[in-house]
Amino acid sequence: MTKKINLFANLKSDFASGLVVFLVALPLCLGIAMASGAPLFSGIIAGIVGGIIVGSLSQSHISVSGPAAGLTAIILTAITDLGAFDVFLMSVFIAGLIQLALGFLKAGSISNYFPTNVIEGMLAGIGIIIILKQIPHAFGYDADYEGDQAFIQNDGSNTFSFLFDVLNHIHLGAVVVSAVSLVILLAWDKVAFLKRIKLVPGALVAVIAGVVLNEIFLSTGSTLAIAKEHLVSLPVPKSFDDFKSIIIMPDFTAVTNPQVWVVAVTIAIVASIETLLCIEATDRMDVQKRYTNTNVELRAQGIGNVVSSLLGGLPMTSVVVRSSANNNAGAKSKLSAIIHGILLLISVLSIPMILNKIPLATLATVLILVGYKLAKPAAFMHFWKKGKYQFVPFIATLVFVVATDLLKGVALGIIISIIFVLRGNLKRAYVFKKEEYEDGDIIHIDLAQEVSFLNKAAIKQTLAEIPENSKVIINAHDTEYISHDVLDLIREFKETRALDENIKVKLKGFKEAYELENTPENHNHVTIEHYYDVAKREMVQKEVVR
């Protein structure tokens, strides 16, 4: 059940997190546009639309949309094959309409079938990619573009060989800036006095410190001075005509070109899958355990891509890097994503020359900490303790996300998860029963002998439909195996929504290994059977009155 939310209830924390995401998104938008062979401003436009338009329409609380690294190869090839950027924009326009249709057809429900260990493996893999890709920038070696996530790079080297190249291109000024930025960022999270200054995020202080340090290096003629090619490189329009030339409309006459439709379908499918994966991942990050309507998200992304194409922007998806930075910065609602889009718009129109003083080394340090929080050692230990059926898909997803790309890594993880389920539980049927109920009735949910992640969607939907002030019995007496995903759903329902909406939950028959405590018979001094007796007496009284 969706609750109404006051968008400005957490303005201080949302503004601070929006500012952090803006600082992270700026170089990524430019880098992805450059790698895609598109005009640099097309990446900024996509970031602005992703923040303001998609952020407003989406029901996700912490996800952030913008141009995605996973689409760069598709865009680069498409622009080359179609021969013109405005023809490519026609493909983006059609792709947005396809996503809009997918949303109305409720194709977003597929995200319910992504296993938790695969999603967590994807997040850890992306965290490792961020760390490996940003280390060269932190040392002042910027040969690879910001936002690149590919293992095999454009110059033929790979992520690991590129790290060894850094040893021959270390810039001492960049190292000093990175070190100072790292100290500031760590202190901001650890020092009690600094943690209370919520409106001023540590990332902003680190960026300002990096700019000031480099300006001192430049003014004193120091060898530590960081050159222009190692700073943010936002295009600077010099006149109104320059601004007008930024807006490129799609070539609508290309609608009859079959190749345009092939590119559109490709973008729609890839962008939709990446968005659904990111939404599932950000819902897992959300400390308040709120769920996003993925069908609404697809519609929001579709409208965003239509608007972006009309303004000359790149296609977009919900993006894990920006979303995780948003979450780590303390975002409470989607206002943070909207603020990041507004800041992108204001900054490129008014202060591009100031932004171009920001060292890439500072931004790399911010991203390295984001990557570490995605790939914490605790996540590895968590799934190791859960056993091979949880750990193997997790680690396989992680390795293949790093070595190939996000979609291939997730696909492999899901295949391994399905093989494990089919192999271990081939003869076990899944039965899910619930009685018809109205407000105030007792709801019985009897779990079957085998409950795998494939049953996650049905259970999630059932729990979401339970009305306020209900009495619920969840019975696992006959259950031999319950997947980690389903246990998480039950635990989150019992510990969050049930408390908020006065839903009395009784758990029966859950094994100790499930880490879910069965409800004692004297829970709250009133057993669930007592509610059943009360309900029966009320029904008898109603009959007497009649």
pLDDT band at 425 (very low <50, low <70, confident <90, very high): low
Distance CA(496)–CA(488), nearest Å, equals: 12
pLDDT digits (tens, 9 = 90+) for 31-50: 898 888 888 889 999 999 99
DSSP H helices in 84-190: 85-104, 116-138, 159-165, 172-190
pLDDT band at 495 (very low <50, low <70, confident <90, very high): confident
pLDDT band at 4 (very low <50, low <70, confident <90, very high): low
Q: Is the pLDDT of residue 534 over 60?
A: no
pLDDT digits (tens, 9 = 90+) for 136-164: 999 999 888 777 777 877 777 788 888 88
Q: Is the pLDDT of residue 17 over 70?
A: yes
pLDDT digits (tens, 9 = 90+) for 366-380: 999 988 988 889 889
Section 267-286 average pLDDT: 91
Q: Which of 6-15, 336-345, 423-432, 509-518 has the lowest mean pLDDT?
A: 423-432
Greater model confidence, 366 or 190? 366
Q: Residues 6 or more apart from 192 whose CB is under 8 A from it?
A: none
pLDDT digits (tens, 9 = 90+) for 68-127: 888 888 898 899 999 899 999 999 999 999 999 999 999 988 888 888 889 899 989 999
If we measure between CA atoms, which residue out of 342, 331, 272 comes closest to residue 56? 342
Q: What is the pLDDT of residue 395?
A: 94
* SS3 call for 258: helix
Q: Which two tokens stand for residue 261?
A: 């439709």
pLDDT band at 233 (very low <50, low <70, confident <90, very high): confident
Q: Is the pLDDT of residue 52 over 80?
A: yes
Q: Where are the domains of the chain?
A: 11-166+235-349, 377-424, 433-545
Section 294-298 average pLDDT: 93
Q: Is the pLDDT of residue 321 over 70?
A: yes
CB of 303 within 8 A of CB of 50? no
Mean pLDDT, the chain, rounded, equals 84
Give residue for tokens 């609404």. 296
Distance CA(159)–CA(111), nearest Å, equals: 30
Question: Is 433-545 a domain of CATH 3.30.70.20?
Answer: no
In this prediction the pTM is 0.76
Q: What is the pLDDT of residue 431?
A: 47
Section 471-489 average pLDDT: 83
Q: What is the pLDDT of residue 542?
A: 45
Strands annotated E in 57-156: 64-66
Q: Is the pLDDT of residue 528 over 70?
A: no
Residue 498 corresponds to which amino acid? A
Distance CA(474)–CA(244), nearest Å, equals: 61
Q: What is the pLDDT of residue 299?
A: 96
Give residue for tokens 């239509």. 306
Section 340-360 average pLDDT: 90
Q: What is the pLDDT of residue 5?
A: 61
Share of the chain above pLDDT 90, in %: 38
Distance CA(223)–CA(230), nearest Å, equals: 14
* Alpha-carbon torsion (178, 71, 338, 120), positive or negative: negative
Section 303-319 average pLDDT: 95
